[in-house]
Structure 1
Amino acid sequence: MKLFATLVSALLLATAGFSTQANTAAVPTYDDPYKMMEVLADKTFQRIAADQPKIKQNAEVLRTIVSEELVPYIDSRYAAGYVIGQSVKLNTVPKEDFNTFVTAFQNYMVGTYAGVFTQYTNQKVIIEPGQPVDKQRKIITIKTRVIDPGKPDIKIEFKLRRMKDTNTWLVYDMVAEGISLLDSKRSELGSLIRQQGLLSVAALLEEKAKAPIKAPEKKKDA
């Protein structure tokens, strides 16, 4: 069950820490967050299904799919800043150091979730029906379900925020089985950042990101 929860969390891309945003000319933008989630899920899983022959020959193809289909719809800087949290005072961190961390976290998460996608076997992702969103709202939660025949449905919540001075929505977090992805990453990296510094942790993440794409190891009790 945890495997499939992790699979859907790839839609968030770790989510977190990505420098590309949805307001680039080549990437469609959406003022309807429900439509964005629907298109994002459909395009990603359809592409993975269509590219299975290539993926079987070279799993690194998944890294490209993740970068092209998911990364543009992540609120990168907000997510990275959240993960850093109170580990350091961001107003004292040079802009270039923060940008280095954002890029490193991006590369690390791309590799991590590309590995998760090696487990994709055509599970269905159902997104709750769209509903009107008050123009004053800045944060919303969209509920989804992962349907895998013969197994209990997995409930996933995606958190999105409206970008400043625009109607565009981007994903910034997801909660699977009651666990927030950003909270988990903050807990994992926070003490390292405090002890070693932002650039040191960024270098560590970049090194981890270089590892070949492979399926995540199954826990003995899974």
Structure 2
Amino acid sequence: MKMWLVAAFAAVVGFGGIVPAQAELIRDENPYILLEKLANETLERIEQDRELIDQDINHIRLVIREEMMPYVDYVYAAKRVLGRNLSETTEEQRQEFYTVFRDYLITTYAGAFTQYDEEKHIIEFGNAERFEKGSRMVVVNTRLVEQGRPPIRLDFKMRFDTNDNVWKAYDLVVEGVSLLNSKQAEISSVIRSSGIDGTIALLREKAQETVQTRDLPEGAE
């Protein structure tokens, strides 16, 4: 199955980045509506920049950084990934980890967008009326649909950032598999073998690699 669209919102997940000076954050109080608006803006940008992306695959990094990352809580996600290792790091190590983790995820999830085809894929969003006012953490359900294939379930875990006064995603669950949990297991293993400084160095190296194409697993029948 191709592309997990706004995967990355998260993204997970690709967490953080620089917002263009002219951009204004979407501050809808309903995270379902915010996510739909963000998805539409991101897909329009991909279509608009298609020629640039075809010329240089790494241009997709810029699209993700500018369109999606302001709505991804990369610090919160990074803390979750570090888990119990967080208390064993210095403030300087934590800040450095947050930065390289963000850049690493931008590169990782940029690969998913290389598979997106605006002529084949559509996103179906959950009912916005399911949101209960006053909630500060929610799971927004969406589905990636391609004709002739089973739909893929994409569940975005979101929390309200009181500092920025905006809803942000911190995890993406694809067909029941949490990307945040997957990264936590992966990075915890590296920390055990290489320490936090070795892990930071490895993530920095991977973040600088050329964007690689990645496919999603097939949806459930």
Match of 2:90 in 1: 94
Match of 1:119 in 2: 115
- 1:182, CA displacement in angstroms? 0.4
Instruction: After TM superposition, list the pairs within 5 Å mapping 1:94-173 onto structure 2.
Output: 94-122=90-118, 123-131=121-129, 133-164=131-162, 168-173=166-171
CA distance in 2 between counterparts of 1:141 and 1:153 reads 18
Instruction: After TM superposition, list the pairs within 5 Å mapping 1:192-211 onto structure 2.
Output: 192-211=190-209
- 1:40, CA displacement in angstroms? 1.1
Unmatched 5+ residue regions in structure 1? none
- Preserved contact between residue 31 and residue 167 of structure 1 (Cα < 8 Å): no
- 1:195, CA displacement in angstroms? 2.9
Deviating more after overlay: 142-151 vs 158-167: 158-167
Give a deviation string over 1:118-151, Cα, whole Å, max 9, x none: 1111210111121264444221111101110111
Letter in 2 for 1:177: E
- 1:9, CA displacement in angstroms? 2.2
Letter in 2 for 1:104: V
Structure 1 vs Structure 2: percent identity of aligned residues? 34
CA distance in 2 between counterparts of 1:183 and 1:157 reads 14
Give a deviation string over 1:63-96, Cα, whole Å, max 9, x none: 100100111101111100011112x1x2442222
Q: Does 1:41 align with 2:39?
A: yes
> Structure 1 132/175 Cα, relative in aligned 2: closer, same or farther at 3 Å?
closer
CA distance in 2 between counterparts of 1:218 and 1:114 reads 13
Q: Does 1:53 align with 2:47?
A: no
CA distance in 1 between counterparts of 2:173 and 2:113 reads 18
Deviating more after overlay: 170-179 vs 135-144: 135-144
- 1:156, CA displacement in angstroms? 1.1
Unmatched 5+ residue regions in structure 2? none
Letter in 2 for 1:112: T
Report how many residues are paired.
213
Q: Does 1:64 align with 2:62?
A: yes
Matching residue within 75, 78, 83 for 1:77 = 75
- 1:20, CA displacement in angstroms? 5.9
> Structure 1 218/36 Cα, relative in aligned 2: closer, same or farther at 3 Å?
closer
CA distance in 1 between counterparts of 2:79 and 2:146 reads 34
CA distance in 1 between counterparts of 2:15 and 2:96 reads 10
Q: Aligned with 1:40: secondary structure? A: helix
CA distance in 1 between counterparts of 2:135 and 2:47 reads 36
- 1:218, CA displacement in angstroms? 9.5
Match of 1:12 in 2: 10
Letter in 2 for 1:189: I
CA distance in 1 between counterparts of 2:70 and 2:78 reads 15
- 1:97, CA displacement in angstroms? 1.1
